[in-house]
Amino acid sequence: MTNHGPAQVLMVQGTSSHAGKSVIAAALCRIFAQDGYRVAPFKAQNMSLNSYATPDGGEIGRSQAVQAAAALVEPSVEMNPILLKPEADNRSQVVLLGRPRHLTSAREYYRLKPTLWSIVTSSLDRLRAEHQVVVIEGAGSPAEVNLRHHDIVNMRVARYADAPVLLVGDIDRGGIFAQLVGTMVLLEPEERALVCAHVINKFRGDESLLTSGLDFLHERTGVPVAGVVPFFKDIHIPEEDSVGLNERASPAAANEIDVAVMRLPYVSNFDDFDPLRHEKGVRMRYVARAADFGSPDLVVIPGSKTTVADLDWLRAQGLAERILSARQERTPVIGICAGYQMLGTELLDPHGVESKAESTPGLGLLPTTTTFLREKATHQVRGRVVGSHGLLRECPGAEVVAYEIHMGVSSTPGLASPFALDVRSRQPVDMPDGAIDADGLTLGTYLHGLFHNRAVRRSVLACAGARRGFRPPFADDDLDPNVEYDKLAAFVRQHLDMGLVYKAMGLQR
């Protein structure tokens, strides 16, 4: 199929944050790809600490990388040209076309926004020139009237692209009809004209009870309901933001390995831990209070956008003390990215990248020193396990595929490195990563996605369980992301009127 001009577009907007826009957009990316189109996702501006490295070393929101995978294309910086990464003190790092460019307050960012529109439009234009369909995702709600004159991600994008809009509402939160009708009322007439259909998302119960409400919605807004998409738990797609991390997991049973991941205020790349959640015989839980720490079999300190602030928080919550006590009792501790930096003896910040403190003491579990730099390292990497003891004793030589996103380097005098990198942003390299102590129970690494590597993950879990004589009953296979995307596409096809969607886009199926 050849492309004769700019790609057709479809935009998914929501009545609020966490309405399910990202997942619906991912489903549509896979549906159009299955139907023979070359598809790309696009989100003009994303605010998230969950980010991803593109093959050429740029940084974009994780949700657009997920949507690219669903669309069966490589992620690129044009798919998310503006990424905001919140930091402490109400600041955000502004990543433009994959590179950090500014550190601003909200007020300063609004003043910057008019200069960013050309980046948005040129990125969208390029995607439309190279693909046949572009699925555009909005952010938050298009009905934030106080922010309308700053809009570069919702209806302004839809108007620019003349994109039909699916308006998604979250019925699980309640008030679905007020959400959808209220949003339509607050849109300008030319914006309302772009809304081609409503989508009611996360429904639980008997759909026949909705009939009168759906009729009312159509009559009141003049816009049909394209579908009622049920709530699901058996399709596994990475979460876009940390809202879904706030639910407390129940304590591990006697026949489960208890993995405690520290719930840092500025936790990043939390989908690092999805594979732990899906392993048989493993209970992964997030811990935000010392009272909930318990007696885990494995402690993980995740990535963070604000290493020093989150390290201070660990101490203030009493969690740092609990981690140190657990390690003294031979509980394994793993630090990923910022968590790795926290495990060391000292964090140096000569340029004020992280905080005003030039030096901050670490937890002291590894004799490493981290120095924060102005330049961010963003790479997709491929390497192998070179450690062979402790947490890695069952996987020496195993291949590791991961990615790096960090603004610091860590010196590891006298320590073995657990991993060696062979490829970094498509370039051959020969460089070590991370540090592991003498007994192999404290491990630090810059590699996000580490637990997505089955051999490494299962070696770590086997070691964690060995202390009390338990080995998880590992399943034969991992979750296959492509199977999950196909399941999602089939599920959404079942509940969404794709004929209506194709007609609104002017496309043939």
| Tens-digit pLDDT string for the chain (509 aa) | 344 469 999 999 999 999 999 999 999 999 999 999 999 999 999 999 899 999 999 999 999 999 999 999 999 999 999 999 988 767 889 999 999 988 888 788 878 888 899 999 999 999 999 999 999 999 999 999 888 888 999 999 999 999 999 999 999 988 999 999 999 999 999 999 999 999 999 999 888 889 999 999 999 999 999 999 999 988 988 876 554 555 555 667 778 999 999 999 999 998 999 999 889 999 999 999 999 999 999 999 999 989 999 999 999 999 999 999 999 999 999 999 999 999 999 999 998 888 888 999 999 999 999 999 989 999 999 999 999 999 999 999 999 999 999 999 999 888 889 999 999 999 999 999 999 999 999 999 999 999 999 999 999 999 999 988 999 998 878 888 999 999 999 999 999 999 999 999 999 87
Distance CA 98, CA 169 (A): 30
Distance CA 400, CA 231 (A): 34
What's the gap between Cα 385 and its chain centre? 25
Task: Give the burial class of 321: count Cβ atoms within 10 A of its Cβ; 0-12 exposed, 13-18 middle, 19 or more buried.
Answer: middle
Measured CA to CA in angstroms, residue 375 lies from 258, 353, 372, 381, 433 at distances of 37, 10, 9, 18, 18
Distance CA 261, CA 268 (A): 12
Coil vs helix vs strand at 382 = strand
What single DSSP character describes residue 292?
Answer: G
Alpha helices for 88-161 (secondary structure H): 106-112, 117-130, 155-161
Q: Quick one: pLDDT at residue 357? A: 86
Distance CA 25, CA 168 (A): 10
Nearest to 27 by CA among 168, 218, 225: 168
Which residues are marked as active site?
337, 448
Q: Quick one: pLDDT at residue 245? A: 56
Residue 475: phi, psi to the nearest 5? -70, 160
Measured CA to CA in angstroms, residue 163 lies from 10, 71, 155, 260 at distances of 5, 19, 9, 44
202: left (phi over 0), alpha (psi -120 to 50) or beta: left
Q: Quick one: pLDDT at residue 3? A: 43
Dihedral in degrees, nearest 10, Cα atoms 414, 417, 423, 424: -70
Distance CA 32, CA 391 (A): 43
Q: Quick one: pLDDT at residue 181? A: 96
Helix, strand, coil % (nearest 5) of the chain?
35, 30, 35
Distance CA 131, CA 420 (A): 37
For residue 416, list its beta bridge partners: 436
Distance CA 273, CA 286 (A): 10
> What domains are there in the chain, each with its CATH number?
8-236+484-505 (3.40.50.300), 248-478 (3.40.50.880)
Distance CA 469, CA 379 (A): 38
Under 8 Å between Cβ of 149 and 189: no
Q: Which residue carries 């201070």 as its tokens?
A: 312
What single DSSP character describes residue 490?
Answer: H
Nearest to 147 by CA among 41, 268, 222, 47: 47
Distance CA 420, CA 431 (A): 6
What's the gap between Cα 176 and its chain centre? 26
Other CB atoms closer than 10 Å to residue 79's CB: what's the count? Answer: 28
Coil vs helix vs strand at 302 = coil
Nearest to 294 by CA among 304, 309, 284: 284
Q: Quick one: pLDDT at residue 2? A: 40
Task: Give the burial class of 103: count Cβ atoms within 10 A of its Cβ; 0-12 exposed, 13-18 middle, 19 or more buried.
Answer: middle
Distance CA 39, CA 28 (A): 9
Tokens of 60: 């974009």
Distance CA 432, CA 415 (A): 11
Nearest to 128 by CA among 255, 281, 4: 4
Nearest to 315 by CA among 366, 277, 264, 356: 264
What single DSSP character describes residue 250?
Answer: P
Distance CA 324, CA 303 (A): 18
